[in-house]
Amino acid sequence: MRLAVDTSTRNLSLALEKEDRLRYRNLAGGRDLARELPGLLDQFLSDHRVSLKQLRAIVIGLGPGSFTGLRVGVASVKALAFSLGLPVFGASSLDAIAYAARALGNRICVVQDARRELFYINTYESDGQHCQKHGPDLLCDVSKALSLIGPKTVVVGDAIPLLKGRLGQKRYMLAPEEFWSPQARFLFPFAGPKAENPAKLVPTYLYPENCQVTVNRT
Q: Within a domain: residue 128?
A: yes
Q: Which amino acid does the sequence have at 85?
A: G
| 80-108 confidence digits (pLDDT tens) | 999 999 999 999 999 999 999 999 999 99
Segment 107-130 mean pLDDT: 96
Choose between 137 and 212: higher pLDDT: 137
**Is 215 within the bounds of a domain?**
no
For residue 209, name the pLDDT band (cuts at 50, 70, 90). Answer: low
pLDDT attached to residue 208: 65
Range of the domain at 75: 2-93+183-210
CB 139 within 8 A of CB 120: yes
Question: Does residue 217 sit within a domain?
Answer: no
Query: Taking a C-beta distance cutoff of 8 angstroms, is the pair 158, 182 a contact?
Result: no
User: Average pLDDT of the chain?
Assistant: 91
What is residue 135's predicted lDDT score, i.e. its pLDDT? 94
Q: How confident is the model at residue 212 (pLDDT cuts 50, 70, 90)?
A: very low
In a domain, 39, yes or no: yes
pLDDT at 159: 97
- CB of 115 within 8 A of CB of 96? no
CATH code, domain carrying 140: 3.30.420.40
Question: pTM to 2 decimals?
Answer: 0.92
